[in-house]
Structure 1
């Protein structure tokens, strides 16, 4: 597939890395030579220096032959104009990063399709929604909704006193045979394990478990952790994402959250205070330990750090954890920081690039692929696929299928009912199947559904 990426920033680089590793024909356009050099030095892609809003420069990228044009610069207007031009020049699908809410509003005078944009992505909003979801599962480091929210995949870090330490997955399953669940992946000291029943759990394992949504609280309890009621939240950083998190929590019909938000810019803080009547907005440095202590960080149930300085996000979350805040979430952008943050004791980390990549991947692997989600901290992905009539995956018990190495079937959605997969489960045509696999197995497993 020929893919043109406009913008060689963090998100553009991450997408180019993932898509080129999957053997797509990738071209990256940017006006900054330094960003392009970083891309060309480490990735097998074509780079072109040029202006994203120039017809002449877009023609150089062969955009007319592109299956997908992805515009992810940091400026909404540039993404919109380059998307419009690309569509007129012949790009089959246009995906653009648009952060302004004005174009997603139901009453917007212009819609993305009016501008020639097929898919509008908003990584910051996706990440903000994920953080809000994490606050509802206080013990989990990851929460992914699947099968129309009827199943959930949760990530849980096993503490040294967990009753599961030293037990095999077969033993774990036998202990709780009245509930069906599946351990689909384990992150262990930088390694990714797609486990079988004989694998034994160790302390500090990051365990990913799939179960029906109503059974998730019980699964968390089996690990030795307890779901805690979170009511008070402090948000460090009133940037776009910090404000979005506050808006999502204020609109939550199930709970009346107590929220404090700290923003260093006076004008921005004043605007947020006027808009968010239910939020206590403070003007100050959100990484200042004295300010955090004065404003009662030790009395908070959750602390969320989403400033532009990721090192400060990690440090302030560590301080919050030291003061026994129940849940800490840090925004990070460097992939290397994700496993590190969890190793040193943070409850969860969020990465905007992963959110963008997850959104875009569904369209790159379109067809029978319903969704693709990358698991943070380990090299594995969750793919939701629909089985074709007569495909190799159908009409055989899972235990008789020749699945590629590094791949496991977790669950099946059939005619509105959900089933956690066992060896006897059979996939039928048009069933939706949740697959967990390492990146190298994705293409092989996708072919089984064709």
Structure 2
């Protein structure tokens, strides 16, 4: 497949890296010569200095042969125009997929006069909003280290860290199931740098990060089986009034406060930005000050805070702030990180959870690499696998017999089937035509999954 990536910033670079690793023919366009030079030196792709709003530059990138155009600069208008040009000078619209990063409510709001389809954009990505939604979900489910939604949020993949005193530590999955019916399916275990595809005889160890697939609404029950009490987070401090920080605050303050609800504080260094947030975030206390000033945070009650969310533009500061919070016994810490090297080690050094804007874009791009039957694709830092949501064709191989009778490839595990109801998969489960399934696959087996769902 030929792909053009417009924008070589953090997000664009990561998309180009992902596509290159998948052995696709990739061309990157950016107006910044230094960024283009960095792409040329580190990735096996073609990189061009130019603007995505220039038909000449797009033709130099061979837009007429492109199957996928991903416009992810920091400027909405550039991404929109690049998508329009791709439709006009590239392949016919039904042969080229355009994905654009657009953040303005003028285009994304429900009451927008203009639709993205008017500009030739097939799919919209809003990394900041997706990241904020993930943070809100993590705070609403205090026991989780990761949460990813599937099938219209009817099923969730939840990461849970196994503590030394957990009743599940030392048990095999069979022993765990014998103690009580499991309301979930273990999809994978991350142990150090290893990813373990679970079998009945797999043993859960202290320090493992266990990823379970559970029906939405039963996360607390699943956490309890694994020795985690969900609890309620009542006091949240957000470091950084960035786009992500503001959206997290709005997401928390905009929900009904049952039993007292959450009290939210935002610490922002820029006075004008702090003033604007104070005027727009109802029910949120906005503090003008340096998010990296530990004395300030202590005076504002960090030690009494239940959760700290560090989403400043300085990810090293985010790490340090979260580590300091854990030292003060803050129950949950979430850090916004962008460097790929930081995310896998974040939990091993003491953080509870890490989020990344780049992952939201990568997941959307992966969906188009996996085929027509794939509705979503997720990757989890530290877990060497992909989790796919697929829909089954009538007559597809996966629909012909119960799962126990299917010869699924080694490294492929079906976790849940969603039709009229949610069914956590067992050997007796039958995937009906039109149903959706959530499938765990190791990298070597990903390409073998879609044919199972295709007629």
Task: Look up the match of 1:132.
Answer: 136
What is the rounded CA distance, in whole Å, between the counterparts of 1:396 and 1:115 in structure 2? 45
Residue 268 of structure 1 and its aligned partner are, at CA, apart by 0.6
Residue 211 of structure 1 and its aligned partner are, at CA, apart by 2.0
Q: Which moved more, 1:391-400 or 1:125-134?
A: 391-400
1:87–1:93: 8 Å Cα contact kept in structure 2? Answer: no
Residue 17 of structure 1 and its aligned partner are, at CA, apart by 2.0
Equivalent positions of 1:146-157 (< 5 A) are: 146-157=150-161
Task: Look up the match of 2:80.
Answer: 80
Q: Does 1:209 align with 2:186?
A: no
Residue 70 of structure 1 and its aligned partner are, at CA, apart by 0.5
What is the rounded CA distance, in whole Å, between the counterparts of 1:264 and 1:254 in structure 2? 28
Tell me the SS of whatever aligns to 1:419.
Answer: strand
What is the rounded CA distance, in whole Å, between the counterparts of 1:223 and 1:53 in structure 2? 52
Of 287, 291, 297, which residue of structure 2 is paired with 1:292? 297
- How many corresponding residue pairs? 448
Residue 304 of structure 1 and its aligned partner are, at CA, apart by 0.3
Q: Deviations over 1:42-74 (max 9, x none)?
A: 433222222222111110111122222110112
What is the rounded CA distance, in whole Å, between the counterparts of 1:448 and 1:18 in structure 2? 25
Q: Does 1:198 align with 2:201?
A: yes
Residue 355 of structure 1 and its aligned partner are, at CA, apart by 1.3
**Structure 1 gap ranges (5+):** none
What is the rounded CA distance, in whole Å, between the counterparts of 1:233 and 1:181 in structure 2? 29
Task: Look up the match of 1:105.
Answer: 109
What is the rounded CA distance, in whole Å, between the counterparts of 1:285 and 1:446 in structure 2? 49
1:232–1:257: 8 Å Cα contact kept in structure 2? Answer: yes
1:180–1:211: 8 Å Cα contact kept in structure 2? Answer: yes
Task: Look up the match of 1:26.
Answer: 26
Residue 356 of structure 1 and its aligned partner are, at CA, apart by 1.5
Q: Deviations over 1:125-153 (max 9, x none)?
A: 00000100111110110112223322222
**Structure 2 gap ranges (5+):** none
What is the rounded CA distance, in whole Å, between the counterparts of 1:65 and 1:95 in structure 2? 16
Tell me the SS of whatever aligns to 2:130.
Answer: helix
Task: Look up the match of 2:89.
Answer: 89
CA 1:308–1:368 in structure 2 vs 1: closer, same or farther (change >3 Å)?
same
Task: Look up the match of 1:11.
Answer: 11
Q: Does 1:394 align with 2:403?
A: no
Tell me the SS of whatever aligns to 2:232.
Answer: coil
Task: Look up the match of 1:333.
Answer: 338
1:71–1:96: 8 Å Cα contact kept in structure 2? Answer: yes
What is the rounded CA distance, in whole Å, between the counterparts of 1:357 and 1:253 in structure 2? 33
What is the rounded CA distance, in whole Å, between the counterparts of 2:364 and 2:334 in structure 1? 21
What is the rounded CA distance, in whole Å, between the counterparts of 1:254 and 1:439 in structure 2? 43
Task: Look up the match of 2:164.
Answer: 160
What is the rounded CA distance, in whole Å, between the counterparts of 2:207 and 2:88 in structure 1? 52
What is the rounded CA distance, in whole Å, between the counterparts of 2:388 and 2:127 in structure 1? 19
Q: Deviations over 1:371-392 (max 9, x none)?
A: 1111122222210001112222
1:143–1:152: 8 Å Cα contact kept in structure 2? Answer: yes
Of 417, 423, 448, which residue of structure 2 is paired with 1:419? 423
Equivalent positions of 1:266-345 (< 5 A) are: 266-345=271-350
What is the rounded CA distance, in whole Å, between the counterparts of 1:72 and 1:55 in structure 2? 17
What is the rounded CA distance, in whole Å, between the counterparts of 2:216 and 2:235 in structure 1? 25
Of 196, 202, 218, which residue of structure 1 is paired with 2:221? 218
Task: Look up the match of 1:352.
Answer: 357
User: TM-score scaled to structure 1, two decimals?
Assistant: 0.95
What is the rounded CA distance, in whole Å, between the counterparts of 1:417 and 1:19 in structure 2? 35
Q: Deviations over 1:375-415 (max 9, x none)?
A: 1222222100011122222222223323223221101013x
What is the rounded CA distance, in whole Å, between the counterparts of 1:18 and 1:448 in structure 2? 25
User: TM-score scaled to structure 2, two decimals?
Assistant: 0.94
Task: Look up the match of 1:446.
Answer: 450
Residue 32 of structure 1 and its aligned partner are, at CA, apart by 2.8
What is the rounded CA distance, in whole Å, between the counterparts of 1:298 and 1:156 in structure 2? 24
Residue 364 of structure 1 and its aligned partner are, at CA, apart by 4.0
RMSD: 1.6
What is the rounded CA distance, in whole Å, between the counterparts of 1:70 and 1:38 in structure 2? 19
